[in-house]
């Protein structure tokens, strides 16, 4: 249940990240549009300034023209100045919008980092709790087995009624029989056979596989490896059963039935971390992590 909640939290975080990326893309598009508006406004301001200069030249050249013409020219100059002022105001507003967009992006990025750190911390706590629970269950099972072995066997029904037979009537134990075994000649084993990993008979496809991973130097590294395995498409659930001495035992639930060899091939295809199949059989798959240091 804790792993399911962690998975749901991870999916929600991914959906939130995707929504955030979409929002960032929208803000980037808005910033681009604002930049284009600023460029257009700047060009408009330059054209307006040029027009104002042209009008001023015309006014100087037309000093002897009619008063009506001077009034019309003055009116056009006023309109050009208003357009220039409007363009300047638009440029200032676009600049403020761009600054606010950058500030919002920075705040959103900081919030994403905070949520990711919180999610990783929660996943780590959940995995640690699951590992502790698995260790407690293993210790309890071991204690129960030890208690069962230490418990004396109950007396038989005949002994309860008649009592134990006297020592004088007890039958002495038979002498052990010995068989002489002739020493056979040793058969050399080829070097390739000595390095071949252990392999059991292939099993039918299943949706529940037990993974044994080693070496794993720390619990934090185990959490990171667990997150990478959960990204595989066939993986539905994954939780830690045990972790001690650099060896982790994980229960893997699949969306569709697969053989342990198929699952081993899927895990071996990962680039990071690199897995090498050590043994496969039944529903158990033992993998060695290449390039990992063991527990000190």
pLDDT in tens, 79-96: 999 999 999 999 999 999
Q: What is the pLDDT of residue 137?
A: 73
Q: Which CATH number fits domain 205-290: 3.40.50, 1.20.1250, 3.30.1360, 3.30.160?
A: 3.30.1360
CA dihedral for 233, 234, 239, 245, sign (positive or negative):
negative
Burial class (CB in 10 A: 0-12, 13-18, 19+), 42: middle
Question: Strand 247-258 and strand 235-244: pairing?
Answer: antiparallel
Q: What is the pLDDT of residue 179?
A: 36
Q: What's the token pair of residue 2? A: 């804790």
Question: Strand 206-214 and strand 247-258: pairing?
Answer: antiparallel
d(CA 239, CA 128) in angstroms, rounded, equals: 10
| Residue labelled with tokens 């991870």 | 10
Residue numbers in the chain where pLDDT is lower than 50: 153, 156-199, 296
d(CA 65, CA 67) in angstroms, rounded, equals: 7
Q: What is the DSSP secondary-structure string of 76-115?
A: HHHHHHHHHHHHHHHHHHHHHHHHHHHHHHHHHHHHHHHH
pLDDT in tens, 144-194: 777 766 655 455 444 443 444 444 434 444 443 433 333 434 434 343 333
Q: What is the pLDDT of residue 210?
A: 95
Q: What is the pLDDT of residue 157?
A: 43
Sheet-wide strand order for 206-214? 235-244, 247-258, 206-214, 284-290, 274-281
Q: What's the token pair of residue 285? A: 């798959």
Q: What is the pLDDT of residue 106?
A: 87
Residue 12's nearest CA partner among 114, 107, 105, 115 is 115
Strand partners, 211: 250, 285
**123 and 10 Cβ atoms separated by less than 8 Å:** yes
Q: What is the pLDDT of residue 135?
A: 67
Q: What is the pLDDT of residue 143?
A: 78
Residue 135: other Cβ atoms inside 10 A: 15
C-alpha count within 13 angstroms, C-beta hemisphere, residue 64: 0
Q: What's the token pair of residue 57? A: 């030249």
d(CA 231, CA 229) in angstroms, rounded, equals: 5
């Amino acid at each position: 249940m804790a792993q399911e909640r962690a998975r749901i939290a991870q999916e929600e975080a991914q959906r939130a990240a995707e929504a955030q990326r979409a929002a960032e893309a929208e803000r980037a598009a808005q910033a681009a549009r604002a930049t284009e508006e600023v460029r257009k406004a700047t060009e408009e301001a330059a054209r307006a300034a040029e027009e104002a200069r042209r009008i001023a030249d015309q006014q100087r050249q037309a000093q002897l023209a009619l008063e009506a013409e001077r009034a019309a020219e003055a009116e056009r100059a006023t309109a050009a100045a208003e357009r220039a002022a409007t363009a300047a105001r638009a440029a200032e507003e676009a600049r403020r919008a761009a600054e606010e967009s950058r500030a919002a992006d920075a705040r959103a990025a900081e919030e994403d980092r905070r949520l990711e750190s919180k999610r990783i911390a929660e996943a780590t706590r959940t995995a640690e709790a699951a590992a502790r629970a698995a260790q407690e269950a293993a210790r309890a099972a071991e204690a129960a087995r030890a208690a069962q072995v230490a418990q004396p066997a109950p007396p038989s029904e005949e002994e309860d009624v008649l009592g134990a037979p006297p020592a004088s009537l007890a039958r002495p134990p038979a002498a052990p029989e010995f068989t002489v075994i002739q020493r056979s000649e040793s058969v050399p084993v080829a070097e390739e056979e000595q390095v071949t990993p252990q392999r059991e008979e292939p099993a039918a496809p299943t949706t529940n596989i037990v993974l044994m991973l080693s070496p794993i130097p720390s619990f934090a590294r185990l959490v990171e490896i667990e997150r990478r395995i959960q990204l595989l498409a066939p993986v539905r659930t994954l939780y830690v059963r045990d972790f001690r001495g650099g060896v982790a035992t994980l229960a893997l639930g699949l969306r569709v039935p697969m053989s342990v060899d198929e699952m081993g091939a899927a895990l071996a295809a990962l680039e990071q971390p690199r897995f090498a199949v050590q043994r496969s059989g039944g529903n158990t798959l033992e993998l060695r992590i290449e390039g990992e240091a063991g527990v000190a």
